[in-house]
Structure 1
Amino acid sequence: MALILEWNNEQNQVDIPESLFERLNQLLQIAGELERVTDGEVALTLVDDAEIHGLNKQYRGIDRPTDVLSFAMQEMGDDELEIVYETDESDEAAEDASESDGQFEEPLGDIIISVERAVQQAEEYGHSFERELGFLFVHGFLHLIGYDHQDEAEEKKMFGKQDEILEKAGLLR
């Protein structure tokens, strides 16, 4: 079992080097260790403002672009039904074998980041694009595992976690 990052670069305005995805994977491993999340898959998609604008409008009812969206696969809403799969022993043995081979990890969710926003915010805050992308990725990951910032206390806790993870990875402002 492992914590896996799958990524897809759907934007074409900024060249994203492979080393940056390696850095995001490092952040995922640090965050997972600190939060005791040892396995699962995080799907990251990099998009432009137009794409994230459409998603923000569709899923959150907010008609403007944003920097990051997270869609957790593990949370259950009040009106959602739990899916229970019926299997026989041979199915369970096959599933156990594929999981032990690292071929399948339970999805934690999707993180979608606007590269345009990340570039603008890095300039605005006076730090590197790498640091901003890392911040947005960690922010999205924490949402996937249940953190939120709806009130001051939650925000303080979540942003403290973000700072701790980024500091441990050496991504300082």
Structure 2
Amino acid sequence: MPVLVNNLQEKVSVEDEMVHLLAGVVNEALVSEGADKDAEVSLVFVDDNYIAQLNKQYRGKDGPTDVLSFAMQEGPAMPGGEGEILLGDVVISLETARRQAEEYGHGLAREVAYLTVHGVLHLLGYDHETEADKRVMRQKEEAVLDRMLKG
């Protein structure tokens, strides 16, 4: 399960240890959901300005958010892409993640790990529009984090 990481910001340091943890989080989420072992996910780290532009363009909402997911598996299959399984992109604002980590009283790596699994679950079709959906998604997020951060 290839995990591609692209850091498009310079405001928050991205250490190799965190990238390794996040690749593990992606893989754990995909395995736990029975996703194809060759599925590819891209993690993109951005700043608040960049994610605010995406949030406005794709969701019609002003201001930054913490994570956005862009699924590639929606709609008809792309011609010529039979060998590749591109699940999509998880875009995370590290500025927002840093603020939230401070607010919640835990480290940046834990917050970014949470946002990563949250984004991957969106790529797999999960949502949190209803309370029941929110509970299911939260349970899956915490299960992955428990295995990755405590085990």
Q: Same fold (TM over 0.5)?
A: yes
Check conservation: 1:56, 1:66, Cα contact below 8 A: yes
What TM-score comes out, normalization by structure 1 length? 0.82
Classify the secondary structure of the residue corresponding to 2:90.
strand
Q: Deviations over 1:79-102 (max 9, x none)?
A: xxx35637xxxxxxxx88xx5xxx
Looking at structure 2, the residues matched to 28 and 60 of structure 1 have their Cα atoms a distance apart, in angstroms, of 24
Looking at structure 2, the residues matched to 162 and 155 of structure 1 have their Cα atoms a distance apart, in angstroms, of 10
What stretches of structure 1 of length at least 5 have no aligned partner?
Answer: 77-81, 87-94, 100-104
Q: How does 1:32-47 map to 2 (within 5 A)?
A: 32-37=30-35, 38-47=37-46
Corresponding residue for residue 60 of structure 1: 59
What TM-score comes out, normalization by structure 2 length? 0.93
Pair 1:83–1:163, CA change in 2 (3 A): closer
Deviation, 1:39, is 2.4
Backbone CA RMSD of aligned residues: 1.8
Q: Which has the greater radius of gyration?
A: 1
Q: How does 1:1-173 map to 2 (within 5 A)?
A: 3-37=1-35, 38-76=37-75, 82-83=76-77, 85=79, 105-170=84-149
Looking at structure 2, the residues matched to 140 and 32 of structure 1 have their Cα atoms a distance apart, in angstroms, of 11
Q: Deviations over 1:49-85 (max 9, x none)?
A: 0000000000000011100000000022xxxxx3563
Looking at structure 1, the residues matched to 87 and 143 of structure 2 have their Cα atoms a distance apart, in angstroms, of 21
Looking at structure 1, the residues matched to 91 and 3 of structure 2 have their Cα atoms a distance apart, in angstroms, of 13
State the 4+ residue runs in structure 1 displaced beyond 4 angstroms. none
> Aligned partner of 2:46: which letter?
V
> Aligned partner of 1:17: which letter?
E
Corresponding residue for residue 90 of structure 1: none
Classify the secondary structure of the residue corresponding to 1:139.
helix
- Tell me which moved more, 26-35 or 107-116: 26-35
What stretches of structure 2 of length at least 5 have no aligned partner?
Answer: none
| Count of aligned residue pairs for this structure pair | 150
